[in-house]
Structure 1
Amino acid sequence: MDRSADLDRLYALFGRLEERVGGARRLADCTGYMDWPDRGLYVFFAPGESRASSGQRRVTRVGTHAVSAGSSTTLWDRLKQHYGTGPGSSAHPHGGNHRGSVYRRRVGEAFVERYGLHERYPDWGATSVPDDRDRSEVRDEEYPLERRVSAFLRDQPFLWVDLDDEPGPDSDRAYVERNLVALVSNYDRRPRDPRRSDWLGGYARSAKIRASGLWNVEHADESYDPAFLDTLAAAVERTTPP
């Protein structure tokens, strides 16, 4: 495998994808009324960070959905979890639920670590509200940080790929996600496209996030199969604007 050449091909595919969909989007500008594919894969990019070799924005997060057999989750369902609540939410407008989005949770954790907010948000990152805490009280307490996470995530440029096969761990979505993360990750290997010193992920609690340069933990320490790029290339040609 030639990782440098494979990375160049990957980013060339992202360039082709941008041409097909009319450019990257931001969650702040998206709604569920847009014509999203039912199933797919998404890639977020870090604003202000680019590849040294091409100037293209660098990948910062890879994700998909419906990789469990029988799952009915759609692509927009998953993106909406990252987006959070809208302006019409009566209790917590522009907030969100980090317990329903691992991306939100990890970004919030990094804010907590970076700014020393442990006492203010003692339960952030717990998979569920502790039994001795009132759920609504905790949601109110965490609301300012949820808003901060929403603002951060909604400003991230992202692209998506139409990959609509049956849900399951052997789906094309799971295959491409796994290998894309493994290719881009700098974990325990010579860094490619090094991250800026002030990248928020550098404050993440997970050593894999800090070392890989991705908001991904699963597959960040794995090897990749370069054949996944062929599957991705075919999906790019099927993808249309929303």
Structure 2
Amino acid sequence: MKTLILGTAALALTAGLAFAAGHEKTVRMGTEGAYAPYNFINDSGELAGFEIDLGNELCARAELTCEWVKNDWDSIIPNLVSANYDTIMAGMSITAERDEVIDFTQDYFPPTASAYVAAADNADWETGVIAAQTATIQAAHIAEGGATLVEFATPEETVAAVRNGEADAVFADRDYLAPLVEESGGALVFVGPDVPLGGGVGMGLRESDGELKDKFNAAITAMKEDGSLNELLVKWFGEGVQTY
């Protein structure tokens, strides 16, 4: 999914050394809490979703003590670099641009398609006004094309822009949009082609936290090999989801 603001390398280095020196510290897991079914706030006011289940299992397998930290999307990378938490699990697509600022584990969600959703089949998704969440790979894609991009801070606002006529279509992860279309009773429809973007979704870490990255990579590999990652993918995204 989402922006890049170059952070402070010195802070990242300090945080990495702190982890290497003290394995007993709690690993703080940063997430947005606003991108169902990846991560969201449930009816009990608690973080829930695919990435919360997955992150908890990864921490258990890596024998790490972890806690979740909710952070707005537009500052999620800067706050990782500034050591306000130690990882990002927030539906974040692995891209070369982001990889210049932070590091990534291997993907835990396969490369997937982005899609357009509108209020009518004849909506102008090619040259019209397209809503996308600020600082996402979808926003960057629209900015490079022939449509007019309107950006919103949250994914909910992008869909609302289509519903209230501010935008002709919204462009986002298909897996995020699919349940909204299904639940809309025909008020929302897919238009245009699917567009493959990014290299899958992975956990973001500071460049200096190589040891922590290795621990999580080993846990992700184990879950791929024993089928438990596929089970979580199907649980949260349905039988049609791409699996490993």
Q: Would you call these one fold, judging by a TM-score over 0.5?
A: no
TM-score normalised per structure 2: 0.32
Structure with the larger strand share: 2
TM-score normalised per structure 1: 0.32
Structure with the larger helix share: 1
